[in-house]
Amino acid sequence: MRKFAAILLLALLLFNFLGYRVLFSMLREESATHLEADLDKGLYDSSELITLRVPLSMPYQSDWGEFRRADGEINFEGRHYRTVMRKVEKGQLVLLCLPDHYRTILENGVNDYAAHSNDLAPAAPSKKSAASFKKDSLSGEYELLFHSFMKQLFLSGREKSGGFLLAALPCCFLPSPGRPPESSYC
């Protein structure tokens, strides 16, 4: 019985250290996969597109006649955007970006969880959540954090396009490439 309790507590500790990171990274990947598939199929509201213009300083840059599909992410003032289309005109790179509401909610949930799990003060506490904390119970804080995160997660509108199916972790992880070698050419 003691051996079983020790194994259970060790598994709980390991999940507390690594499990939430794995869970959040899986949710990020799932979100990116669904959004990219929707963008490839053209299933987005074009009225939500935001135009960004970035000056280019490249000599002999020719203008593009039309927009081309592009994949990318932009984080601006705590909000996440996905690049849908791009075009070069008049020495500027024109990006059409779509707000990624789910990714913004997920990142805010990750930050809130990290702040609560490390006993840090939240950046902008809301009066509703601050009033509903039970100061004498740890389970009350956990339940509040978990339920608010799950509510944001599943009420974000993504369930309309099929919901989330958590993908299994790949059987092996590929190492990320290192820095390229330094050139001796100057």
Q: CA-to-CA distance for 80 and 147, rounded, in angstroms?
A: 23
Q: How many CA atoms lie within 13 A of 182 on its CB side?
A: 2
pLDDT number for residue 65: 86
What would the mean pLDDT of 29-40 be, rounded to a whole number? 88
Query: What is the pLDDT of the chain when averaged over all its residues?
Result: 75
Confidence band, pLDDT 50/70/90 cuts, at residue 90: confident
